[in-house]
Amino acid sequence: MSAVLSPGSGRSAARLAALWASLPLTVLLSFAVLALVVAWSLAPGVFTSHDPASGVPADKLLGPSAQHWFGTDHLGRDLYTRVVHGTASSVASALIAVAIGVLAGGFIGLLAGFLGGRVDTVLARLVDVLLAIPNLLLAVIVVTALGFDTTNAAVATGVSAVALFARVMRAEVIKTRQSTFIEASFLQGGSRWHILIRHVLPNASRSVLSLAVLQFGLSILVIASLAFLGYGDPPPASDWGLLISIGKDYLKWPWLVYAPAFATIATVLSMNRISRWLRRTN
């Protein structure tokens, strides 16, 4: 029996195809990089059959080749395999960091912008204090207090992003609160919390979406920086920042740094491009 498509589904498919066709080439490439990174993190065994933790001593420090795409490290481990398996840790950590920033920062900004008055004053001053501290420095302080591992580095990165999300959410809530449809909802007898959840939050969260995408890329960069400084998981972990940190000790074999650095840079730049595109389309 052949399936019959409704006119509505046909129009939706046509609109979706037109949207993809209208995307700039750089955005398409960014989505392709993001899809590859997600695939690496979800199913690394599909892309490589080598063991990321063990190698062949006789094959140490080999250059990139058809057998070892990114070369091998000082223990004979396939570097491409270690980069692929390190993706899951980097992506999961960045997601944790963004979730903390969006939830905590969004809640603070939502309350400050909607309630106003003394609540806004107190929360705004708290946000100003957090913004006065550089993100990496604040992350180092938090991860030092929590302990050295990748999860704590993700929590520290999320804490350092709370103030940014709070500031953006507060500004969007204040702008939305002054809209005519909000006043109309008040006049119709809507409660403050109903208006906050039903009207203010959905409209104010549009800018937060593009910021969350941007912060995802920045979180990968900050977490890699923390791992590079030794605040992440110890070897034989294969976090991208740790791979760069290990590779810097072998300057005669530059692929040890280039491979994980290129993966990090490509991911961060792709997220930045997607965030810019989302901001323009909102």
In a domain, 2, yes or no: no
Q: Radius of gyration of the chain from Cα atoms? A: 23
Contact predicate 60/72, CB 8 Å: yes
* CA dist., res. 277 & res. 282, Å (int): 9
In a domain, 191, yes or no: yes
Domain count, the chain: 1
For residues 77-81, give the mean pLDDT: 90
* CA dist., res. 56 & res. 39, Å (int): 27
Residue 111's domain comprises 28-49+69-281
Supply the pLDDT for residue 3: 47
If one counts every other C-beta atom within 10 angstroms of the C-beta of residue 187, the result is 8
Q: For 3-35, what is each residue's pLDDT tens digit?
A: 444 555 556 666 656 656 677 888 899 999 999
Whether 42 has a pLDDT exceeding 80, the answer reads yes
* CA dist., res. 124 & res. 102, Å (int): 16
Whether 36 has a pLDDT exceeding 90, the answer reads yes
Closest to 161 in 3D by CA, of 95, 117, 205, 241: 95
In a domain, 216, yes or no: yes
* CA dist., res. 257 & res. 242, Å (int): 10
For residues 212-233, give the mean pLDDT: 88
Q: For 159-173, what is each residue's pLDDT tens digit?
A: 888 988 988 888 888
pLDDT band of 188, cuts 50, 70, 90: low
For residues 242-251, give the mean pLDDT: 88
- Angle CA(255)–CA(261)–CA(41) in degrees, nearest 5? 110
* CA dist., res. 197 & res. 65, Å (int): 56
In a domain, 60, yes or no: no
Of residues 189 and 94, more confidently modeled: 94
Residue 16 CB burial class (10 angstroms; 0-12, 13-18, ≥19): exposed
pLDDT band of 187, cuts 50, 70, 90: low
Query: Which CATH number goes with the domain that contains 135?
Result: 1.10.3720.10
In a domain, 151, yes or no: yes
Tokens standing for residue 11 = 């129009």
| Rounded-to-5 percentages of helix, strand, coil across the chain | 75, 0, 25
In a domain, 215, yes or no: yes
Tokens standing for residue 152 = 């704590």
DSSP letter (8 states) at residue 181: H
Whether 196 has a pLDDT exceeding 50, the answer reads yes
Where b means 16+ CB within 10 Å and e means fewer, 159-178 reads: bbbbbbbbbbbbebbbebbe
Length of the chain: 282
Supply the pLDDT for residue 268: 93
In a domain, 131, yes or no: yes
pLDDT band of 117, cuts 50, 70, 90: confident
Whether 114 has a pLDDT exceeding 80, the answer reads no
* CA dist., res. 148 & res. 129, Å (int): 25
In a domain, 4, yes or no: no
Whether 2 has a pLDDT exceeding 50, the answer reads no
Of residues 123 and 16, more confidently modeled: 123
φ/ψ of 123, rounded to 5, equals: -70, -35
Contact predicate 185/199, CB 8 Å: yes
Mean pLDDT in the chain?
A: 83
For residues 37-56, give the mean pLDDT: 87
If one counts every other C-beta atom within 10 angstroms of the C-beta of residue 128, the result is 11
3-class secondary-structure state, position 200: helix
Contact predicate 89/237, CB 8 Å: yes
